[in-house]
Amino acid sequence: MEFGLIGEKLCHSFSPEIHRALGNDRYELKELSPDALPAFLAEKAFRGINVTIPYKETVLPFLDEIDSAARAIGAVNTVVNRGGRLVGYNTDFAGMTALFRHAGIDPAGKKVLIAGSGGTSKTAAAVARHLGAAAVYRVSRTGVDGLLTYEEAKRRHGDGAIWINATPCGMFPRAGISPVSPADYPALTGVIDPVYNPLSTRLVLEARERGVPAEGGLYMLVAQAAKAAELFSGAPLPPDTAERVWRSLLKQKENAVLVGMPGSGKSTLGALLARRLNRPFFDADEVLTQKAGRTPAQIIREKGEAAFRDLEEEVLRELSAETGCVIATGGGAVLRRENVLNLKGNGKIIFLDRSPDALPTTPSRPLSDDREKLLALYETRLPLYRAAADATVPCVQDVEENLKRIMEKWNV
């Protein structure tokens, strides 16, 4: 391996794509068990590597030289082989600093709380202090080594202004969980979460629900990769490189999620949009039908709406883990907050707003099989669609015009 990333579990890493965008198509992934790490480092058969969980501290004794900033932090995420001497750096520092600025979150003069006790936690503490934080407290489940427990943090520092997640909590495949609840910190003014898969963790989404600026880790990943690429090559990159690569990668990974009333055209327009974008397409109701062996209408008639909604939630959770696809949801997907949060984890939600006068009634949709039911359903769900949507597309009868409008919202 000439260039690459080492770690214990890497199957969902975006790093090769980022380094290809940065001009390095020789970047690989190499999963290593703890037992295999010493031999790999001793062999020195690489020019430059990035290091991720759980080896950012483990690699330190194997290095011939450690950059002063990395030594002060106590963690390394980039190793360069300079003529047989392994030199360690911490580009996470530059990446997280860039993430703070990109998110518009300023820790200067504020109390910062950091979830986690590992290398990323140490980097986060160094960045917060560098940016002028008034106080920095690291938090872990056990509270060992002088750290606070989560209960102590909530009890003694409920006035914390900024939370940084430096744990894998909320990372795929354990998305949908959070190390802390933003509701417990009424003075919160910002949340930073280096996790990038999903693109927005539950912590980030719950903070945004409360109007708190929050951002996931994709920009940090790109910014630290750009710094590592400069160390690998010994040459600087253009100043706008990280922003350009981030925008491209975000649009590539983000799902287009269509919500709206039954009959609003989600399935038809979703399939057309997927073809136009050259992406996989998933119709949530079709996936559910295949999974259950029953259509939504059959499940509702046989087992009731609650049973159908439970199964729908399970299907949407699975689909939400996908990236770079188009998802057409069932009309009632927005009825459960959990569905909306799951879909927003990797997706941009687009509400197809068709006038109720133009919506069809059909026996295959038992919740809207007559005009009176449909109008009542529309009045109930309209505020939910609007609240969930990142963008709204007023739909007309012309399919091509609707597709054009969706594409315009998608490209914003």
Summarised one tens digit per residue, pLDDT across range 343-358 is 999 999 999 999 988 8
For the chain, percent of residues with pLDDT exceeding 90: 88
Q: Which of 63, 189, 175, 169 is nearest to 120 (CA)?
A: 169
Average pLDDT over residues 110-125: 94
- Output the pLDDT for position 383: 96
- Output the pLDDT for position 359: 84
* Domain containing residue 190: 94-219
Q: Are the C-beta atoms of residues 210 and 188 closer than 8 Å to each other? A: yes
- Of the three residues 205, 238, 271, the one that is the final residue of a domain is 238
Strand partners, 29: 5
- How far apart (Å, rounded) are the C-alpha atoms in residues 95 and 103? 12
Are residues 331 and 276 part of one domain? yes
Summarised one tens digit per residue, pLDDT across range 242-251 is 999 999 999 9
Helices (H), 48-118: 68-73, 91-103
- Of the three residues 180, 210, 238, the one that is the final residue of a domain is 238
Q: What residue type is assigned to position 286 of the chain?
A: E
- How far apart (Å, rounded) are the C-alpha atoms in residues 361 and 262? 9
Summarised one tens digit per residue, pLDDT across range 69-85 is 999 999 999 999 999 99
- How far apart (Å, rounded) are the C-alpha atoms in residues 399 and 266? 11
The catalytic position among 56, 266, 344, 348 is 56
Number of domains in the chain: 3
Are residues 226 and 150 part of one domain? no
Within a domain: residue 142? yes
Query: Whole-prediction pTM value?
Result: 0.91
For the chain, percent of residues with pLDDT exceeding 70: 100
Are residues 31 and 109 part of one domain? no
Q: Are the C-beta atoms of residues 222 and 246 closer than 8 Å to each other? A: yes
Residue whose token pair is 């295999």: 36
Provide the 8-state DSSP code for 330: P
Within a domain: residue 43? yes
Does residue 368 surpass a pLDDT of 80?
Answer: no
Confidence at 406, pLDDT banded by 50, 70, 90: very high
Does residue 209 surpass a pLDDT of 80?
Answer: yes
Are residues 226 and 215 part of one domain? no
Output phi, psi for 4, to 5 deg: 170, -170
Q: Are the C-beta atoms of residues 49 and 61 closer than 8 Å to each other? A: no
Within a domain: residue 248? no
First to last CA, the chain: 39
Angle at 302 between CA 299 and CA 307, to 5 degrees: 50
Summarised one tens digit per residue, pLDDT across range 281-327 is 999 999 999 999 999 989 999 999 999 999 999 999 999 999 999 99
- Output the pLDDT for position 118: 87
Active site (annotated) includes residue 56: yes
